[in-house]
Amino acid sequence: MQKLLIKGKKELFGTISISGSKNATLPILAASILSNNGVKLANVPMVKDIFTMLELLKFIGIKIRIKKKQKVIELKNNNKKINTLAPYKLVKTMRAGVLVLGALLTKYKKAKVSLPGGCAIGTRPVDLHLFALKKLGAKIKIKDGYIIAEAKKGLVGSKIKFPSISVGATENALLAAFGAKGKTVLLNCAVEPEISDLISFLKKLGGKIIISGRKITIIGKNFGTKKTYHKIIFDRIEAGTYLIAGALIGKKLVLNKIDTKIIKSEIDTLKKMGVNITNNKNSLSILKTKKLKKINITTKPYPGFPTDLQAQLMVLMTQAQGISKIKENIFENRYMHVPELRRMGAKIEIKNKTAYIFGASRLTGAEVMATDLRASVSLVLAGLIADNRTMVNRIYHLDRGYEFLEKKLQTCKAEIKRI
Ligand code: EPZ
C-alpha cells in the first residue's frame, strides 16, 4: 500500500496551478446521460473518483474517450443498449454514483441504483434526493439495498421545498427536472459553485434554468441534441487547501487558475487570522505569515465556510495563539483527523459538535492514518510543519480527489514523496 513520506519544515516557494473541480465534474458527468449528442469536458481532474464515475457511465452504455494529458473527456450517449442500473460495486466506492438516478429516471422512465452506504464522515442518507424525485411523480421503493424508481408516463414538473439544504439532492432534482414535463421550482436549494457549474452545463444542453438566491426554476426540456463543450470550474477546496499550506509554511506561494470571488469566505477567514494574502482576479499570493491569530468558525452551506476545508483549517489553528473553535454543522462525524493530529502534538478537545484547538503547539512527525479525503490532506499539511518525518498511510483516500498532490508540493520545494 502506498504512503506519503514528508520531511517537515521546508518553506514553500513557487506557483501551483489549481485543477478542475472533482465535485463539479461528477454531477456534470451524470448529466451527460441527458445528452443525445457528443459532450466534451475540459479541465477535468484526473483523479480516482472521476474514473469510478466513468466506469459507471460505461456500464450504463455511454461511450467514453479519455484524453488524460489534455484533461479532456468526450462522452456520447447513442441511446443504444442503455442499462438503467447503477450496481452496488460502483456506488459503494463512490457515493456520487447516486447522481445518475435523476438523469436515468427522467430520460428512460426507470432506474435501479444501489443505495450508498454510510461513510467515514457521517451516515449521509439520500432521503432528500428521493423526496424530490417523488414530488416529480416517481414511484420509489427500496428493495435488496437498491432504490427502484419508476415514472411510467415520465416525470412532471412541481414545486419542491427542501426541508434542509443538500448539494447532492439539489443536483439530482435538477437532473430529473431537466427532462420533466413543465416547470419545476426548487426552493431552499444548495447553491455551491459546483451547482452553478452544473446549471451552466445544463443550459448548454438546452435547458432553461433561472437561479435566484436559493430558488431554482427549471423549464423541462427534451433531451439535449446539441454538441456540448464545457470547461469545468476550478477546485475551490483544492485552492483552499494550498492557501492553508501557504499560510502554514509559505515563503511565497502563488495559486493560479482560480476565481478569487468564489473563495471569498476562505480568503476573509484566513486574513482575519493574520495571513498575508494579496489577491488578483485569477490568482493569489500568500507571503510568509508572522503571527497567526485565533478564530472561531462554523461550517455552513455555500457561501459559508465549507466543511471540506474544516480539517485543513484546524491544522492552521494549531499554530494560532489562543483557543480557536470550529463548529462542524454539516456532518456528524467529521473529526476523524483529530486523534491523528493529537498524536502529532496538537491540543484539541471535542465537545458535542465543537472542536477547541489550543494553540500554538509544536507538531512532531509521526506515522499517521488517513481516514477520508480531507482528513488525509490535513495530515499532509501537519507533516509540512512538523519536526522530523511524517508518514501518511492509506493515501488512496487522497488519490480520490487531489490531482498530483505531491508533485505540486514538490514544485514548491516541499520534501514529500510517495513510497
Ligand atoms: C457534497 O456531498 C460533496 N460531495 C461533499 O464533498 C461535501 O462535503 C458536501 O457536499 C457538503 O458540502 C460531492 O459533491 C460529490 P449534502 P453531499 O447532501 O451532496 C445530509 C469531499 O470531501 N443529507 O450537501 O453528499 C447529509 O447527511 C466530499 O469532496 C440528508 O440528511 O452532501 C449531510 O449532513 C465529502 N439527506 C448534509 O445533509 C439527504 O438526502 C449535507 O450533505 C442528503 C443529505
Same-domain status, 222 and 240 = no
Residues 211-226 as b/e (b if ≥16 CB within 10 A, e otherwise) read eeebebbbebbebbee
Within this chain, do residues 197 and 54 fall inside the same structural domain, yes or no? yes
- Residue identified by cell 459532450 is 39
CA atoms of 419 and 411, how far apart (whole Å) = 18
Distance in Å, CA 39 to ligand 1 centroid: 26
Nearest to 203 by CA among 182, 214, 190, 217: 217
Whether residues 274 and 397 share a domain: the answer is: yes
Q: Are 304 and 244 contained in the same domain?
A: yes
Residue 417 alpha carbon to ligand 1 centre in Å: 31
Secondary structure (3-state) at 244: helix
- The answer on 316 and 189 residing in a single domain is no
Q: What is the DSSP letter of 125?
A: -
Q: Which of 19, 21, 23 to mutate for ligand 1's pocket (most ligand atoms within 8 Å of CB)? A: 23
Position 325 scores a pLDDT of: 98
Distance from the alpha carbon of residue 73 to the mean position of ligand 1, in angstroms: 25
Atom of ligand 1 nearest to the CA of 126: 40
Q: Which of 181, 200, 231 is the last residue of a domain?
A: 231
Ligand 1 pocket test, pick from 330, 377, 402, 405 with the greatest ligand atom count within 8 Å of Cβ, gives 330
Give residue for cell 512538523: 386
Record the cell numbers describing residue 12, joined without a space.
514553500
- Residue 307: CB within 6 Å of ligand 1? yes
pTM of the model: 0.97
Which residue is closest in CA terms to ligand 1's atom 41? Answer: 166
Cβ atoms of residues 392 and 379 within 8 Å: yes
Cis peptide before 116 (omega within 30 of 0): no
Q: How many CB atoms lie within 10 A of CB 15?
A: 14
Q: Answer whether the bond into residue 149 is a cis peptide, omega within 30°.
A: no
Do 155 and 251 share a structural domain? Answer: no
Total tally of structural domains belonging to the chain: 2
Same domain, 252 and 213: no
Tell me if 96 CB under 6 Å of ligand 1.
yes
State the DSSP code for 284: E
* Dist. CA 175 → ligand 1 center (Å): 17
Q: What is the pLDDT of residue 118?
A: 67
**CB distance 390 to 3 below 8 Å:** no
Q: What is the CATH number of the domain that holds 191?
A: 3.65.10.10
Q: How many A from CA of 213 to the centre of ligand 1?
A: 19
Q: Distances from the Cα of 211 to the Cαs of 161, 167, 224, in angstroms?
A: 14, 15, 20
Ligand 1 pocket member 94 (CB < 6 A): no
Is 126's C-beta closer than 6 angstroms to any atom of ligand 1?
yes
User: What pLDDT is attached to residue 221?
Assistant: 77
412 tagged catalytic:
no
What CA–CA distances, in Å, run from 152 to 84, 107, 111, 155?
14, 11, 11, 8
130 in ligand 1 pocket by Cβ < 6 Å?
no
The verdict on 209 and 78 lying in the same domain is yes
- Of 51, 78, 83, 119, which one is the catalytic site residue? 119
Instruction: Let me know whether 74 and 207 are in one domain.
Output: yes
Helix/strand/coil (H, E, C) string of 33-82?
HHECCEEEEECCCCCHHHHHHHHHHHHHCCEEEEECCCCEEEEECCCCCC
- Domain boundary (231, 262, 289) is at 231
Is residue 346 in contact with ligand 1, taking CB distance under 6 Å? no
**pLDDT tens, the chain, 419 aa long:** 899 999 999 999 999 999 999 999 999 999 999 999 999 999 999 999 999 999 999 999 999 999 999 999 999 999 999 999 999 999 998 999 999 999 999 999 999 999 987 678 878 899 999 999 999 999 999 999 999 999 999 999 999 999 999 999 999 999 999 999 999 999 999 999 999 999 999 999 999 999 999 999 999 877 777 799 999 999 999 999 999 999 999 999 999 999 999 999 999 999 999 999 998 889 999 998 889 999 999 999 999 999 999 999 999 999 999 999 999 999 988 999 999 999 999 999 999 999 999 999 999 999 999 889 999 999 999 999 999 999 999 999 999 999 999 999 999 999 999 99
Strand arrangement of the beta sheet that strand 139-143 belongs to: 85-86, 110-114, 146-150, 139-143
Tell me the C-alpha distance between 348 and 205, whole Å: 48
- Predicted pLDDT at 207: 92
Q: Are residues 148 and 295 located together in one domain of the fold?
A: no
- Residue 182 belongs to what domain range? 22-231
pLDDT of residue 120: 81
Separation CA 195–CA 389 (nearest Å): 39
Distance, in Å, from the CA atom of 205 to the CA atom of 222, rounded to the nearest integer, reads: 10
Contacts of residue 342, Cβ cutoff 8 Å, sequence gap at least 6: 348
Residues 119 and 201 in one domain: yes
Domain endpoint, select from 204, 231, 258: 231
Ligand 1 lined by 114 (C-beta under 6 Å): no
Residue 284 to residue 267: CA distance in whole angstroms: 10
220/262 same-domain check: no
